Amino acid sequence: MPIVRRAGFLNHLAQMTILDKIGPISQPLPLERPLQPVRVAVLAFEGVSLFHLSVPGIVFGVTPAPTGLPPHEVRYCAPTPGKVRCDQGVEIEVPGGLEAMTSADLVIVPAWNHPEAAAPAVLTEALKQAHARGAQVVGLCLGAFVLGDAGLLDERRATTHWACRDLFVQRFPKVNFLPDVLYVDDGNVVTSAGTVAAIDCCLNLIRQRHGADVANRVARLLVTPPHRQGGQAQYIEQPVPVLPSESRLPGVLEWARENLSQPLSLDVLAEVAHMSRRTFTRRFREA
Amino acid sequence: MPIVRRAGFLNHLAQMTILDKIGPISQPLPLERPLQPVRVAVLAFEGVSLFHLSVPGIVFGVTPAPTGLPPHEVRYCAPTPGKVRCDQGVEIEVPGGLEAMTSADLVIVPAWNHPEAAAPAVLTEALKQAHARGAQVVGLCLGAFVLGDAGLLDERRATTHWACRDLFVQRFPKVNFLPDVLYVDDGNVVTSAGTVAAIDCCLNLIRQRHGADVANRVARLLVTPPHRQGGQAQYIEQPVPVLPSESRLPGVLEWARENLSQPLSLDVLAEVAHMSRRTFTRRFREA
């Protein structure tokens, strides 16, 4: 079995961990044909989340040995290859265009910056074709909007970041929207909930292809749960109950929580509330 | 209060979430002096983890409104500025050199690729000076090794990725090593456990500076727990009990779990184990 060596600390650790702690276990299975790598195309675009660009690489890029599994080839592509500026300002060099999607087994769309407007046709067409060809198409977080624009989610189950759920339901009424899950797979179309759920989603893709044992090992190397209980619902920000509009108490209490290191006298709190000390005291008792 | 607008979907969501769901709450506190941004310098180097480059940006880059908090300025720096190739092959453009550390409030070192050897003096010197000046110095995952090489961890509490704990203890015998925590802060020197614990670590830095309320809001936007129970210990890969060396059953069972989609006849399993069908059956009953 040729050992696929990749750069990066995680593969270094993967080799160390298995060989040092578990020792060589099994001979690889004699294979009828050589292992074809799983080709993963990750979409980049202006303002793309550096985090979502990194997640497929860190989950698919590490192959815990000995597995005899095909390696993953993670490639980045963009509608216009070359320099692409990410959300945190750093520029990355994207070598390939959307043609990378035509040969990918897995196409990954990071959180989309403009969920209010339809994604460009060049992008939705490439996704439709990849899906029609049998590729698994994944929308991480707001990337689900691009899959929705491509019509890939109609009559299917899908999710997205909780903060955009109203917009999602409004823009894609034919989708069976699941607000609470961390990810959902329906007909080779996979969508994940907000931000960090991208890790759960990619671990699940590993689990689908290679089984729970491999996914669990990757999760342990990443120091993250192989499966999170409870879905996205537990992370949704609950609206703070709003008191009558003339009351500023919620704002004051919030401010106080943020400034616990300062001396919080009644006078200071009343001033933040734009009230007299007496009014503030009465309102505070009422609340 | 000037609204700090950053690129990226998360700040878009942060604005949407608070304004749509909670409504404008409090007037900002009248401040004696304008808010100084928190300057964060993130180190890049050849083969650096794209994931660890992205984590400070995604945690510090989002400012849930309304907070009246100083913004974070996340800057990337490298011993040699310019093109830097990350672990997954993608190249990033790093504009600044290590001088960025001389004015940073927070210096972050991602997982280091060469934990076996001492880090270059140019790097350890820059870290020592930043720490002496009062900056908080953070080693994510194997980044702890660079802080150790700079002597910043001597007589302090620190942690690193579980898979490198033996090497860490051996290389830095003066460190009070904590194997089980997800992160630890000792004297402005912060280290985090393996890989994804970098998110927990950065959320804790937000909590230290701005309180639990802000950290909880950022965590919700990231769809990640604000605090994980149980530390790193729960993720450590336990050695698989090794049966007598002549038995190949563990490898076979592993292979079987990975190939559940195939027909797993006794003949196939015996072949994988390099045993006769009869021997395999006997060993299987013994195991």
Of A263 and A113, the one with more pLDDT? A113
CB contact under 8 A, B252 and A76: no
Q: Does B53 touch chain A (CB under 8 A)?
A: yes
Shortest CA gap A250–chain B (Å):
7
Q: Is A54 on the interface with B (CB under 8 A)?
A: yes
Identify the pLDDT of residue A189. 98
Distance CA A201, CA A198 (A): 5
pLDDT bin (cut points 50, 70, 90) of residue A249 is low
Tell me: pLDDT of A250 over 60: no
User: Minimum mean pLDDT among A165-169, B5-9, B64-68, B121-125: which range?
Assistant: B64-68
Contact A110, B8 (CB under 8 A): no
Looking at domain A9-26+36-235, which of 3.50.50.60, 3.40.640.10, 3.40.50.880, 3.90.1300.10 is its CATH number? 3.40.50.880
Q: What is the average pLDDT value for chain A, to the nearest integer?
A: 83
pLDDT of residue A264: 67
Q: How far apart are CA B184 and CA B72, in angstroms?
A: 22
**Percentage of the residues of chain B whose pLDDT score is greater than 90:** 56
Asked if A69 and B248 come within 8 Å (Cβ–Cβ), the reply is: no
Residues of A in Cβ contact (< 8 Å) with B199: 196
Picking from A26, A112, A163, the nearest residue to B16 by CB comes out as A163
- For residue B193, the chain A residues in CB contact (below 8 A) are 223
Q: Rounded to a whole number, what is the distance in angstroms from the first to the last CA of chain A?
A: 69
Which chain B residues are within 8 Å of A213, Cβ to Cβ? 254, 257-258
A8 falls in which pLDDT band (50, 70, 90)? confident
- Residue B246's pLDDT band, with cuts at 50, 70 and 90, is very low
CB-count exposure of residue A53 (10 Å: 0-12, 13-18, 19+): buried
Flag if B50 and A54 touch (Cβ within 8 Å). yes
Q: Is the pLDDT score of A4 beyond 50?
A: no
Average pLDDT value over all residues in chain B: 83
Residue B68 has a pLDDT of 64
How much of chain B, in percent, has pLDDT values that exceed 70?
A: 76
Q: B126 to chain A, minimum CA–CA distance in Å? A: 22
**Among A11-25, A27-41, A49-63, B46-60, which is the least confidently predicted range?**
A11-25
pLDDT higher than 90, residue B260? no
Check residues B138 and B276 and name the one with the higher pLDDT: B138
The rounded distance, in Å, linking the Cα atoms of A154 and B119 is 53
* CB contact set of B95 (below 8 Å; sequence gap of 6+): B75, B76, B81
- A72 pLDDT tier (thresholds 50, 70, 90): confident
Show residues of chain A in contact with B213, CB under 8 Å.
254, 257-258
Can you give the pLDDT at residue A272? 66
Q: What is the pLDDT of residue B284?
A: 67
pLDDT band at B5 (very low <50, low <70, confident <90, very high): very low
Q: Which residues contact A145 (CB under 8 A, 6 or more apart)?
A: A112, A115, A119, A139, A160, A164, A168, A171
Asked if residue B150 has pLDDT above 90, the reply is yes
Residue A6 has what pLDDT? 53
Q: Which residue has the higher pLDDT, B230 or B276?
A: B230
Q: What is the structure's pLDDT at A24?
A: 41
Contact residues, chain B, for A252 at CB < 8 Å: 26
Say yes or no to pLDDT of B44 above 50.
yes
**245-264 in A: which are within 8 Å (CB) of B?**
248, 250-252, 254-255, 257-260
User: pLDDT confidence of A278, banded at 50, 70, 90?
Assistant: confident
Count CA within 13 A, CB hemisphere, residue B68. 21
Please determine, for residue A30, whether its predicted confidence score (pLDDT) is greater than 50.
no
pLDDT tens-digit readout, B89-136: 899 999 999 999 999 999 999 999 999 999 999 999 999 999 999 999
* Residue that wins the pLDDT comparison between B179 and B66: B179
Token pair 């994980």 is found at B228
% of residues, chain A, pLDDT over 90: 56
A172-228: per-residue pLDDT in tens? 999 999 999 999 999 899 999 999 999 999 999 999 988 888 888 899 999 999 899
Pick the CATH number of B9-235 from 3.40.50.880, 3.40.50.300, 3.20.20.70, 3.40.190.10: 3.40.50.880
Q: Per-residue DSSP letters for A146-167?
A: HHHHTTTTTTSEE---GGGHHH
B51-55, B58-62, B181-185: segment of lowest average pLDDT: B58-62
Query: Average of pLDDT values for A247-266?
Result: 64
Contact B190, B139 (CB under 8 A): yes
